[in-house]
Amino acid sequence: MSHNGFMISEMAKRVRDILSMFVLAIFSKVIGTKLYSRRSAPAEPESEANVCLSWRLAVEANNMPGWSTVPLHCLSHVETYMMGGQYEQDVNYIVEQIESYVSQVVLKGDGCDAWILDIDDTCISNLFYYKDKNYGCDPFDPGGFVAWVMKGECPAIPAILGLFTKLVEGGFKVFLLTGRDQQTLAPATIANLHNQGFIGYHRVIFRNQSFKGESAVAFKSEVRKQLVEEGYRIWGNVGDQWTDLQGECLGNRTFKIPNPMYCVP
Amino acid sequence: MSHNGFMISEMAKRVRDILSMFVLAIFSKVIGTKLYSRRSAPAEPESEANVCLSWRLAVEANNMPGWSTVPLHCLSHVETYMMGGQYEQDVNYIVEQIESYVSQVVLKGDGCDAWILDIDDTCISNLFYYKDKNYGCDPFDPGGFVAWVMKGECPAIPAILGLFTKLVEGGFKVFLLTGRDQQTLAPATIANLHNQGFIGYHRVIFRNQSFKGESAVAFKSEVRKQLVEEGYRIWGNVGDQWTDLQGECLGNRTFKIPNPMYCVP
């Protein structure tokens, strides 16, 4: 074999090897996601991603109330979800649905048309905090979270800020309802909301001394009940936790913003 | 340039082209799913898959009550989800959660420990029917659906059949509660349940004449209320529709089985 002949043969072999690798990789991807797996056939080995998709769906459909931390094997799934664009797109999609509903609401215009927004991971994001807590795989660290909140550096969630602005300009009385402690966290929270553009809300309602120790559902239900007794009509209620959207006086429509990083029981 | 030299050069060029294509394809995949997209950066073009993931999440988190048909651009997404194994895995995962809950329930054993299961796409599957209806992209066809039900050929959803058997053997009184019309569909439904192994339930409750025209929530709430008045404790309630899991006397825990093909308002 000539020198050139050898080179061609060697190169052809390498090309074959590289292409086989690609073809195999692509084929296994197709097998894993596209082919029809008959119900009666033995189950294919479950990939971590698929298991974590099931976990996240169960969380978002409220099948796992009170879950504690993100399973460690789902760390990279949650990271990819939160940082790779899908979380942002999911939030944007829900906000589109909310705005479509808002556009159909006929306000009475007596100053009693109300809307409720949760604060943490609804209006402003704790993603940068949870990034350093393995996206929720680490157990909740109350001291660390307070220190983070005191910084007042939670960025706005852009789509929700847009919704907020439309609600305020549209004549809704917007109530921001949060489990954050009034005594310690109110000033930093109010400053944070202001520096992120949440301006023009009607009231921020914190968890004060009288609600200490109550569950999120009990506390938020009680506050909403008081608002209804004051004469407010709650047209909508938006939160990232199912406990924002359960209990009494929920409002005419509720909307769940995704949050696979933590659960407030 | 010699003939061989030309061949080598041509081959090298082809290899370069092919590899560039693969590298580009893989790079764009990585960009689309992995890299951190800064919130302030302009949005990347949304792929159909990502948009349909957002749509499906919104459906499963009950952000779109009363949605009518699957958006046509999500046909292949829903097909892949239902047929490719992820649906089955999601159901299995939820059933694991249910069984974990069941194992903690301490039955009173007075014959009043009850459990409620919906029938369509909870116990038995209409997937093969919806396959021919573009996985729910086509509008609901009442006549076609009745004809399908009359065949009595809905296969069991394996994980739910397993759960059913455990519940019955564990001493629960299992009630199958369905919006199917009693007058026309009861015999075919009972035969179908039997041929799929759903044997030993306490009662199947159909929608009879007195509930005609009532919403699913009103009908199912009324039935559950009657059961509670009869003295039953509803430990759990499982359905593929949010309207199975809303209203009164819901039970101690509710579980939502995924269904991206249709919505019962």
Q: Parse chain B into domains and list their residue ranges.
A: 67-256
Residues of B in contact with A85 (CB under 8 A): 32-33, 37, 44, 50
> pLDDT by residue (tens digit) across A11-33?
444 444 444 444 334 333 333 33
Give residue A42's identity as a one-letter amino acid code.
P
Nearest to A39 among B19, B97, B158 (CB): B158
A238 touches A221 (CB < 8 A)? no
Closest CA to A163 of A84, A42, A253, A227: A253
Of A53, A64, A254, the CB nearest to B86: A53
Q: How far is A73 from chain B (nearest CA, A)?
A: 15
pLDDT at residue B187, as a whole number: 98
> Which of the residues A90, A91, A95 would you substitute to probe the B interface, choosing the one with the greatest number of B C-beta atoms within 10 Å?
A90
Q: How far apart are CA B111 and CA B164, in angstroms?
A: 17
CA–CA distance, A118 with A205 (Å, rounded to integer): 10
List chain B residues with CB under 8 Å of A45: none
> What ipTM does this complex have?
0.82
pLDDT over 90 at A38, yes or no: no
The predicted model gives A235-255 an average pLDDT of 98
The CB-side HSE value for B215 (13 A sphere, CA atoms) comes to 13
Using CB atoms within 10 Å of the CB of residue B70, give its burial: 0 to 12 exposed, 13 to 18 middle, 19+ buried: buried
Mean of the per-residue pLDDT values of chain A: 87
Number of other CB atoms surrounding residue A220 within 10 Å? 30
Minimal Cβ distance to B256: which of A19, A39, A63:
A63
Closest residue in B to A4 (Cα) is B4
Distances (CA, A) of B202 to A177, B198, B223: 45, 11, 14
Average pLDDT value for residue range A124-135? 98
Name chain A contacts of B34, Cβ cutoff 8 Å: 80, 84
DSSP A48-70: HHHHHHHHHHHHHTTSSTT--S-
User: And the tokens for B93?
Assistant: 């995962």
Nearest CA in chain B to A240: B61
Nearest to A8 among B7, B35, B60 (CB): B7
Closest in B7, B39, B155 to A39, CB measured: B155
**pLDDT (0 to 100) of residue B46:** 55
Across A235-247, average pLDDT: 98
From the list B140, B145, B146, the residue with the least C-alpha distance to B263 is B140
How close B119 gets to chain A, by Cα (Å)?
Answer: 18
| Residue B103 CB neighbour total at 10 angstroms | 9
Taking CA atoms, A257 is separated from A119, A186, A230, A244, B46, in Å, by 11, 23, 27, 10, 19
Mapping DSSP onto H, E and C, the string for B201-252 reads CCEEEEECHHHCCCCHHHHHHHHHHHHHHCCCEEEEEEECCHHHCCCCCCCC
What pLDDT, on the 0 to 100 scale, is given for residue A46? 55
Residue A47 — pLDDT band, cuts 50, 70, 90? confident
What distance in Å separates residue A63's CA from the closest CA in chain B? 5
Q: Using an 8 Å CB-CB cutoff, list chain A residues near B12.
A: 11
- Chain B's closest residue to A33, CA to CA, is B84
Cβ atoms within 10 A of the Cβ of B187, count?
11
Handedness of CA B76, B80, B82, B87 (dihedral sign): negative
Residue of B3, B63, B98 to mutate, interface with A, max A Cβ within 10 Å = B63
- Say how far apart CA B80 and CA B96 lie, in whole Å: 23
DSSP conformation class of A205: E
What is the pLDDT, as a whole number, of residue B42?
A: 35
Across the A:B interface, residue pairs with CB atoms under 8 Å apart total 134
The C-alpha of B19 sits at a distance from chain A's nearest C-alpha, in angstroms, of 9
Q: How far apart are CA B64 and CA A90, in angstroms?
A: 13
Taking CA–CA distances from B159, the nearest residue in chain A reads A39
Record: contact A255-B63, CB cut-off 8 A: yes
Do the chains contact at B33 and A155, CB–CB below 8 Å?
no
**Which of B50, B88, B93 comes nearest A39 by C-beta?**
B88
Query: Does domain B67-256 correspond to CATH entry 3.40.50.2000?
Result: no
Query: Is B97 in Cβ contact with A64 (below 8 Å)?
Result: yes
Report residue A184's pLDDT band, with 50, 70 and 90 as the boundaries: very high
Give me the pLDDT at residue B47, please: 77
Rg of chain A over all Cα atoms, to the nearest angstrom: 24
Name the residue facing A55 among B19, B93, B258 (closest C-beta): B93
What is the topology classification, in CATH, of domain A50-256?
A: Rossmann fold (3.40.50)
For the cut 70, the answer to whether the pLDDT of residue A9 exceeds it is no
Nearest CA in chain B to A42: B85
CA A249 to chain centre: 23
* Of the partner residues B8, B51, B85, the one whose CB lies closest to the CB of residue A37: B85
Interface test with B, best of A38, A93, A237 (most B CBs within 10 A): A93
Q: What is the pLDDT of residues B159-196, one digit of tens each?
A: 999 999 999 999 999 999 999 999 999 999 999 999 99
Q: Within chain B, which residues score under 50 in pLDDT?
A: 1-45
CA distance B182 to A24: 53
| C-alpha span between B173 and B116 (Å, rounded) | 9
Sheet harboring A173-181: ordered strands across? A203-207, A173-181, A113-117, A233-239, A253-256
d(CA B101, CA B83): 28
Contacts of A256 in chain B (CB under 8 A): 61-63
Question: Does the predicted model carry a pTM greater than 0.80?
Answer: yes
- Asked if A258 lies within 8 A of B2 by C-beta distance, the reply is no
pLDDT in tens, A91-128: 999 999 999 999 999 999 999 999 999 999 999 999 99
Phi/psi at A108 (5° precision): -80, -30
